[in-house]
Every structure is written in structure tokens, then in C-alpha cells.
Amino acid sequence: MQPIELGRLRVTKVHEMDSPVPLLSQLPGTTAADMKRLLTWYDQPDEVNEDPETSFMTFSVHSWVIEVDGQTILVDTCCGNDKPRLLPEVDHLGTDYLGNLRRAGFAPEDIDLVMCTHLHFDHVGWNTRLENGKWVPTFPNARYVFGKRDYDYFRTDPAGEELHNQAFLDSIVPVMEAGRGELVDEDHVAHREIGDGVWLEPAFGHSPGCCVINAQAEGAPALFWGDVIHHPVQLIRHDLKFAFDADGVAASQTRKAVMERVADNDTLCFPAHFRRTSAGHVKRDGDAFRYQWIDNT
Ligand SMILES: [Zn+2]
């Protein structure tokens, strides 16, 4: 996939892995009617069919690299290697993510800033890597910004969040201990020239401090929506609760608000888990929405 240029912004996708899981285990309310409607514009025969019982949800796990005004910003850092995880699919991974990053043109030393939309295990993993039995920051020259609200939540080791607490301990704490981490408010501005920049915006629900990241620089706006929407079928059913939303009602309201905001305008969306090119535009479709992937392969 080629980098995407939006004014002075250049955005590159760096893939870690695809992870298929039964659809109803993630989006339990999905109906056959939803699938039928989805298939009119989402055709991935290895993933979805008319029967939600036999359909899969295949998570693409990837990062986005934003280059703007000499800054190289890494958005979300996937699952990471060698990490002990309660979820077998992501336990002690050994992917070639850093090779993919290099092939996209970036060495770990090139990253100036790491931004995580939220502190779930699949968004913070490459913050650190294992070196001589110790977790060290993967991006030695980067400043890492973490939203305060998620940080304050996960540091308490909340019940039911053991998987994300594992990630907190090996992917957030070592960054803070190395003096590379900065806790920020959920409207933090990471970079700003007059009238544009890169900034966080609250999008609470999926996790208590979940954010989206806005970026704009003399071109169409870019919206890195993280996990506000996990799967294309949620554009048809914004009310579908994702099994791992911390607050399902708030997550659904946030999802609807984001879709309303970007529908039928030039905002280019960068979801955290959509497949293909991932990037695309949201279009109104009767009483719901649909997604139009950009084609730049
Ligand atoms: Zn995620």
C-alpha cells in the first residue's frame, strides 16, 4: 500500500497481523439482515457471509505513521512480540512488525512521537520490546503520550481487565520508568501550526479514556478513530455492542457521533482494525452508513 498524502500530511500503514475470530463472539447482536445488508458493499468471502453464526470478524492489527513538518508520529503500536497474554491468539507473538516498519521506510530511531488512542493491549504492544530479559522502549528517540484517564484506570488493575493490565505492566510502565512517557489530557495538542496540526479528542466508551486523533495540514482532515468502530457492520448497526466495550451505551453514542460527523464529507478515516487499505470515507446509506475504502494499492 502506498502512503496517502493529504496536504502536508503523509500517512503510511504498517501491518502487524490479521486475527480472525467468530463474529458473534465480538458483536453478539448481529443479525442475518445486518449481514445481508453488509454484503452489498463489503465482500470478504473468507470473513463474512449471510449467516452471522458462521461469519468471522477478522481484525487487521496495524499502526499508522503520520509525517508532518519534519515530525514522524506513530499512532497505535499493535500487540508487540514476546508478551505474555491471557488471550492465546496474541500470547508470545513473533511477528515481523519492525521489518514491516523498516520496509515502509522507518527505523525505530526515526519515530519522534508515539500516540496511543487508548491503552488496550493491541494498541500499546510495540511501545516496548524485550532486551536481555527487560522491557525497554522500542522507539529510543520518541516521546510517548498516554491519555491520563485510561492511565489512571488501568493502573488500578480493575477487575475484568486482566489482559489490558498485563499490557499496562509491560508496555506502559517501562516507558514511564525510562522517562519517555507523558500523561496528557484527552484534548492534548501534539503538533500545531496555525490552523492545523495533530490533536487528541475524547471518544470515551470503548475504554474509559478512549480518544480519536485528528490530523490536518493544508488538506482534507484525517481522523484516526482507533476502536470507536471495530468492524464495517457497525456502520449499519451503530448500536451493536462490541463485547469488550467498557461502557456499551457510551461507546454506541460515540460511534454514532463520529459517523455523523464524517459522513459525506472529505474527512479521510483511518480505522484501527479494518482490512484492505483500511482508510476510507463514510457515506450515508438510507437510515445507516456504509464505508468506501480508498484504493491506493
Ligand atoms: Zn483494538
CA of 37 to the centre of ligand 1 (A): 24
CA of 245 to the centre of ligand 1 (A): 10
The residue assigned the cell 459525506 is 264
Mean pLDDT of the chain: 95
CA of 243 to the centre of ligand 1 (A): 12
Tell me what pLDDT residue 194 has: 60
Tell me what pLDDT residue 191 has: 80
Pairing label, strands 113-115, 143-147: parallel
Question: Which grid coordinates belong to 196?
Answer: 492545523
CA of 273 to the centre of ligand 1 (A): 7
Question: Which grid coordinates belong to 282?
Answer: 463514510
- Classify residue 132 by its DSSP letter: T
In sequence order, the 6+-apart residues with CB closer than 8 A to the CB of 4 are: 10, 11, 12, 268, 279, 294, 296
The predicted model scores a pTM of 0.96
Tell me what pLDDT residue 296 has: 77
Q: Yes or no: say if 122 and 61 are a contact pair by the CB < 8 Å rule.
A: yes
Predicted confidence (pLDDT) per residue in 33-64, tens digit? 999 999 999 989 999 999 999 999 999 999 99
